[in-house]
Structure 1
Amino acid sequence: MTLKKTLTWAAGVFIVWFVAFRPDAAAKVVRSIGGLIGALGTGFGDFFTRLIG
């Protein structure tokens, strides 16, 4: 098994374990990532709006 494949499987197992045994923490992580993506989208949208307008 290659290193990449091993690390991919390990990451998948960790995510399943994290969600199964720490659902509150997993929800906070997902919520934080969603907030970050939303903030990035807002920032890029504001930039292009000001660039064009």
Structure 2
Amino acid sequence: MPELIKKLLFWGFIAFLIYFMAFRPEGAAEMFKAIGAALVAMFQGFGDFLTSLMT
């Protein structure tokens, strides 16, 4: 993918996040909570997997 398109997509995503947080703060907070919960669940699963390998 050309570098210009990558930069445009990146800055467009950043602009969308700022817009979303400014005009829908409740929705943005819920989205970040869901992302955080998903990351915690992934790392918990990974930890459980490693624990089961050791026992």
Deviation, structure 1 residue 6: 1.2
What is the aligned length?
A: 53
Gaps of 5+ in 1: none
Report runs of 4+ in structure 1 exceeding 4 Å deviation.
none
How high is the TM-score relative to the length of structure 2? 0.88
Map Cα deviations across residues 31-52 of structure 1 (whole Å, 9 max, x no partner): 0000001001110111111110
Gaps of 5+ in 2: none
How high is the TM-score relative to the length of structure 1? 0.91
Partner of 1:14: 16
Percentage of identical aligned residues: 42
Alignment of 1:1-53 (within 5 A): 2-53=4-55
Q: Over aligned residue pairs, what C-alpha RMSD do you find? A: 1.3
